[in-house]
Structure 1
Amino acid sequence: MTDLTEHEVLVRPRAAPEAPAGRTTGWWAMVLFISTEAATFAAILASDFYLRFSAKGSWPPTSEKEPDLVLPTTATVIILVSCLPMLLGSLAAARGSRAGGLLGTLGAFAGGVAFLVLQIVDWLSEWPDSTVSKDAYGSLFYAITGLHAAHVLIGVGMLAFLLVSLAVRRAAARPRGPVSLVAMYWYFMGVVAVAVYVTVYLSATLWATR
């Protein structure tokens, strides 16, 4: 076996590095984060039902204003619909389309902002009939909706950062990874929005009419 000279070693073509198999570290990190937050929401929503079944008398209490379904229904529909452009943007990014990823992210961002605005309007409509310190119902109402709104705000921040990254081409080389990760979180926000709507608004209204 002949030894290679220094020149041969330098000019010898190197094998291209193999792409890592399986899911990326970012994907597993997002799954772990979503799983943790899902457990948090499950616990706080379960506490609502626990106190509801333990309460003596009506729920919501007669001193509380019955939830208005117009605003929360509209907000829930908006955040669910915003998952569609996020999905389309994620699929476009998977094909290497930066423009498609940008448009899909922009649609989801607009939906998130609209949801937060409607949530604030809903809080203002409930106040001061329902307050945080008035009773258990009011505390849970603002705790659950506030927790969800805070997570939506985090998602809007992710979307805003992604928009900037795509716009200045920082994520243009590999748009699939960043867009798909943010999309996972946004789908989770849509699922939580339905759970919060059913627990806090819809079931409370049906329970009050029993």
Structure 2
Amino acid sequence: MKLIGSLASPYVRKVRVVMAEKKLDYALVLENVWAADTVIAQSNPLGKVPCLLMEDGSALYDSRVIAEYLDTLTPVCKLLPPNGRDRADIKVWEALADGILDAAILVRLETTLRAPEQQSSVWIERQMDKVHGGLAAMSARLGESPFCHDNHYTLADVAVACCLGWLAFRFPAIDWRSAHPNLARLFDKLSDRASFKDSVPQ
């Protein structure tokens, strides 16, 4: 398998972490989707990463689809239960983490791709409200639990840690550590795992 992605993308990192936890072999193919010579559309018509190229030539996208598929390939480090409410709860965690990232990335694009006089402060504020509201919701859901779902490591933890890691990377001014110390504890614990150490955004 080949994973098309970038070293900065939190969605790509999520898939890389899952690959590492599941001990799956793959080749990472770096792609800058913003470059004029990008060829990502040949694999993903949406022009986004991550994109997983299968051995039969087909492609999977986006990160949620890829992560769910990868978890079926081996019983090593099962990250999702087979069905039911527990599985749905973990997927809600993933949707929340990805939603925070979606909003934060829109802010980054607004402030880096548009000239200052073209930027919308109303739009930026609206997206940042989603970021802060999402962080508060994650903190409330986590409480004092050691992991996001019950007492064991799941895809929810992978998604949340990738979200927090990217915010620390791209939005260091957001002091989510002080505001939500339980999220900081979870993030620090997960950051000690080899899968996270080997995929720090850059």
Q: TM-score, normalised by structure 2?
A: 0.32
Which protein is richer in strand relative to its size? 2
Return the index of the structure with the highest Cα Rg: 1
- The one of the two structures with greater contact order (alpha-carbon pairs below 8 A, sep at least 6) is 1
Which protein is richer in helix relative to its size? 1
Q: TM-score, normalised by structure 1?
A: 0.31
